[in-house]
Chains A and B, each alone.
Chain A
Amino acid sequence: MSVISVETSTLDHALPMALLFEACGTVTHVGPTFEKIAPGAVGKGLAGVMNFVHPQLSGSCADVLRYSGRKLRVELRHEANIPPGEGLSTLRGTVVPLSDRRGLINLALGADPGVALKRHRLTSRDFTATDPMVDFLYLIEAHAMVLSEFERLSERLDQARTAAEEAAVTDKLTGLRNRRAMDDHLGRLTVDAGPAFGLMNIDLDYFKSVNDTMGHAAGDRVLEEVARILRQEVRSGDMVARVGGDEFMLLFENCADVGLLQQIAGRIIQRLELPIDWQGQECRISASIGITMSSYYDTLDAERLVSDADSALYASKRAGRARHSVARPVGECSMEPEG
């Protein structure tokens, strides 16, 4: 066996995080990077310098030397620059027995070197020239960049999806739901057979003449006003949809009181009949309404409900418009006086 001796200054270049200890356990030398991380170890006992996390060793010289060649997980008891509330950095080490029962422990940063790098402001100068730490850092930085890019990307995708969904179920002019949204919702309610609900079909009266005599811009203004009134006359959870040019559908959930819907219908007609201003001119419309209730049916069928509400609506039209009627699913429609 050939024996080599090495100057500690050479050792500092080759193993900048190493520590030398005597047979009695006293630390006689530490590398420059070690000194930067935990200053003042020289002269202290091994057990006072290092906490052996795994395997759990007392720190006595004989104890430590028995583990030569094995990976140790350690902490430096006098680690500097620890931010408040944070613990010691975890380091790795191996023990190398030297002559006369002396030893060397070579340390390296643990699995997450970022913490120690930042705390102790370590630079490439603190590692050996061939240490892959710089490459590791490139990976850390690239990884952080990629993660934040993906976060931003999925945020943008979420927003785009929400916007697309909104666009698919919203009427652009009035901001009300569209026919598709109403069909979907009604479909769900009729499948689930949950609490009772009421359905109201509204067709504007005299709207065509507003469009014909005052133009489409006036018509658009009227539709916006109608949407505003309808929204105000329902509870916040009720769905209001524009299902055709001048046709609207209202869905009242948790509602089995036809009398209440008749009241609401009357109030809607009253408010729609108030003149709507368009550039100093008055637009006058009214509405015919048909109502049906889920409680009228033994089995719920969305198409049947819509068609019955339509029949009631046309009964209102036939009876002279500007009024509301309630469907009788057996076939008949009862007419209620206007308002």
Chain B
Amino acid sequence: MLGLICKSLEGFVRDQHGDLQWERIRRAARLPFERFEALRIYDDAVLMDLVAATGGVLDRRQSPLLEDIGHWICTHPPLEPVRRLIRFSGTSFVDLLFSLEEIEDRARIALPNLHLPQFRVELTASDEFVVTSQWMVPGAAAVLTGMLRAMADDYGTLAIIERGGLSQDGDTVIETISVRVIENTFHEPREFTLGGVR
């Protein structure tokens, strides 16, 4: 797994709770280094230890913590490219939901070792969806729940987004999220422009 994933957790802690808390978490997780390198490959177990240590130090249950991280990834200004890419992927919140199926492929072209979760999206009723994630560790659904809530807000869509159950198939963790879109344009979408890379 690429360090970028752990580094986003590190970024969240440093930004929201300060460097001191990060230092405590780093020690609790027994990380032998001060910071994650985004492009270095780490063992999957490191992420598990890190999430457990973060929950312990911040005294928070893991799922709400991961939801907050997902929300932060989409709303934190230095990570604007993430929001921009998600917005560009679909012209509406429902488009975005279906584009989740392509996220893993897109990430793999750009960063082959990133290993993002694989998402499947099913329409279960005219305005109800079930998103299934498959990943090597639990937590993908919680992070995605936070991201989808932030993006629904971004699109001006009123939707109810809830985490569902968790099961395991060999080394793969399978989690679900249910999404019910109540109103597609509940309020004005947030402004976004593309190609702001320069």
Contacts and interface: CB of A to CB of B under 8 A. Distances in A.
Interface of A: 113-118, 121-125, 134-135, 137-146, 149-150, 153
Nearest to A117: B195
Contacts of A123: 87-88, 91, 192, 194
A118 B38 contact: no
A149 B91 contact: no
Given A123-B87, A123-B194, A137-B194, 9 more contacts: A118-B194, A134-B88, A135-B106, A137-B88, A138-B109, A141-B81, A144-B81, A149-B38, A149-B39
B107 interface: yes
Contacts of A139: 109-110
A114 B193 CA distance: 11
Contacts of B183: none
A142 B91 contact: no
B88 to A, nearest CB: 6
Nearest to A127: B88
B41 interface: no
Interface in B78-128: 81, 84-85, 87-91, 95, 99, 106-107, 109-111
B106 A138 contact: yes
Given A123-B87, A124-B90, A124-B91, A146 B197 contact: no
B190 interface: no
Interface in B155-198: 192-198
B89 A124 contact: yes
A114 B90 contact: no
Contacts of A113: 195
Contact of B89 (A114, A122, A134, A144): A134
14 contacts: A113-B195, A114-B195, A117-B195, A121-B193, A122-B194, A124-B88, A125-B91, A135-B106, A137-B195, A141-B110, A142-B107, A143-B110, A149-B38, A153-B37
Nearest to B80: A141
Nearest to A113: B195
Nearest to B91: A125
A155 to B, nearest CB: 13
A114 B38 contact: no
Interface of B: 37-39, 81, 84-85, 87-91, 95, 99, 106-107, 109-111, 192-198
Contacts of A116: 195
Contacts of B197: 114, 140-141, 144
A146 B91 CA distance: 27
B89 A146 contact: no
Nearest to B99: A134
Contacts of B111: 142, 146
B110 A114 contact: no
Nearest to A109: B195
3 closest A-B pairs by CB: A142-B110, A117-B195, A118-B195
A138 B39 contact: no
Nearest to B193: A121
A120 to B, nearest CB: 9
A231 to B, nearest CB: 33
B119 to A, nearest CB: 15
B115 to A, nearest CB: 14
Contacts of B81: 141, 144-145
A123 B193 CA distance: 8
Nearest to B3: A149
Given A118-B193, A125-B91, A153-B37, A138 B85 contact: yes
A108 to B, nearest CB: 15
B39 to A, nearest CB: 6
A208 B106 CA distance: 71
A116 B194 CA distance: 9
A124 B110 CA distance: 19
A135 to B, nearest CB: 6
**Residue of A114, A140, A141, A149 most packed against chain B (CB within 10 A):** A141
Contacts of A150: 39
Nearest to B114: A142
A147 to B, nearest CB: 10
